[in-house]
């Protein structure tokens, strides 16, 4: 089974030279297990290769991912691009600052690729 897990720190975008404090981090709304199964690289699946990839991205105030950058791909080189494509299609509940306003937030996200047993 291909699964996805988010790991890391959420950092709000900087506004007026000051980093805002978050009252709520972004929350993934997309079923990433299903999405990653569709994006599992064929060559890696055929060879039963497992691994993971990590991305850095920005979740916008509207819950859309942008500025996706692969920072690590372990197990197979294609995992990074597969993770980037899957996360690019995801939807999020955006982070909120202490006053309750939605804010764009830079996060790290980890996609875990596992072969069905």
Q: What's this model's pTM, rounded to 2 decimal places?
A: 0.80
CB neighbourhood size of 86 (10 A): 24
Domain count, the chain: 1
What is the Cα–Cα distance from 107 to 55, expressed in whole angstroms?
8
pLDDT digits (tens, 9 = 90+) for 22-32: 888 999 999 99
Q: Do the beta carbons of residue 6 and residue 95 sit within 8 Å?
A: no
Domain that holds residue 28: 3-113
Task: Specify the CATH number for the domain of residue 101.
Answer: 3.30.2420.10
Q: pLDDT class for 11, splitting at 50, 70, 90? A: low
């Amino acid at each position: 089974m291909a699964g996805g897990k988010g790991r890391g720190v959420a950092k709000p975008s900087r506004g007026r030279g000051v980093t805002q404090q978050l009252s709520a981090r972004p929350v993934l709304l997309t079923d990433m297990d299903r999405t990653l199964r569709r994006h599992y690289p064929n060559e890696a699946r055929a060879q039963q290769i497992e691994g993971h990839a990590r991305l850095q991205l920005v979740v916008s105030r509207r819950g859309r991912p942008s500025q996706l950058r692969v920072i690590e791909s372990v197990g197979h080189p294609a995992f990074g691009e597969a993770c980037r494509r899957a996360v690019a299609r995801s939807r999020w509940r955006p982070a909120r600052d202490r006053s309750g306003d939605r804010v764009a937030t830079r996060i790290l996200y980890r996609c875990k690729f596992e072969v069905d047993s």
